[in-house]
Amino acid sequence: MTGELSPIDKAKFVAAKRAAELVEDGMRVGLGTGSTAAWLVRHLGDRVQDEGLRIKGVPTSTRTAQLARDAGIDVITLDEAGTLNITIDGADEFDANLNLIKGGGGALLHEKIVAAASEEVVIIADAAKEVGTLGAFPLPIEVIPFGWTTTQMLVDELLVSADVMGRRITLRMNGDKPFRTDEGNHILDLHLSRIGNPRQLAMALNQMPGVVENGLFIDLCDKVIIGYSDGRVETRDINEGTVSEEHINLVETDNLFSDI
């Protein structure tokens, strides 16, 4: 079955498998959204079934919630959990300081709230997600539907004086209708090419009327686990300043979640 996976999927698979090993019995776990986080949910579901692992999962989207229930994970709300022991999620980009762009899956608001409630945030990714400077991936911002064109205009004016390379803004669509987040909001994707000062831009965007949240995750990530198609896994811990590498066998098995 591993032979049927693309190199990127193999990289996501091993990164998620390594991250799943960080989860201990009794933990309250934030579950991210997206293709890499989906692998994590399935790995955790395997541990629940095979090892009797007992955890409470707090999903960041309705899609992840359904995946977790299907995998046998006990799902609760963040209000029920209070605080979380660990959150494991993917990212669209990360830099050397483990600053992130997230929101490609449309769940950035819930993802940031869950991350902020966690004692530890672990990001899982394939090596292609690492960049020297954030911004090649469009930066999502969640905006309320009321007056969204005015919000877009205000953001465009902000970008004139921001340290970015591009300024094109597009409304994310779902077919012929605007994409709706789980909170019923729209997403504007900012095509910036390069973000010179992510911290400053994140603060400025969140001061704009109509902007609910932005996809820049600054000082939230504690650890990144990078997967490679040959089974190598690299773990970088920004708090301890350590980098470690190991190898995870891509064992031929009939239980490799071919529906991901």
Check the annotation: does 62 bind a ligand: no
Residue 92 assigned ligand-binding role = yes
| Cα within 13 Å of Cα(163), Cβ side | 10
C-alpha 66/C-alpha 71 separation (Å) is 9
135 is in an annotated binding site: no
Q: Tell me: is residue 103 an annotated ligand-binding position.
A: yes
Active site residue 111: yes
Tell me the chain's radius of gyration from C-alpha atoms.
18
Catalytic residue selected from 4, 51, 93, 111: 111
CA torsion angle for 190, 192, 194, 199 (degrees, to 10)? -40
Residue reference for tokens 């504007």 = 188
- Look up residue 12 and give its two tokens: 């996501």
Beta-carbon contacts of 205 under 8 Å, excluding residues fewer than 6 positions away, are 141, 155, 158, 211, 214, 216
Report how far residue 172's alpha carbon sits from residue 170's, in angstroms, rounded to the nearest whole number: 6
Q: What's the rounded Cα separation, in Å, for the pair 232 and 213?
A: 35
Is residue 91 a known part of a binding site?
yes
How many angstroms separate the CA atoms of 142 and 90, rounded? Answer: 18
243 in helix, strand or coil?
strand
DSSP lists the bridge partners of residue 86 as 29
Establish whether 35 is an annotated binding residue: yes
Residue 58's closest CA among 113, 103, 14?
A: 113
**How far apart are the C-alpha atoms of 60 and 107, rounded to whole Å?**
7
Active site residues: 111
Pick out the residues of the known binding site for substrate.
Answer: 33-36, 89-92, 102-105, 129
Pick out the residues of the known binding site.
Answer: 33-36, 89-92, 102-105, 129
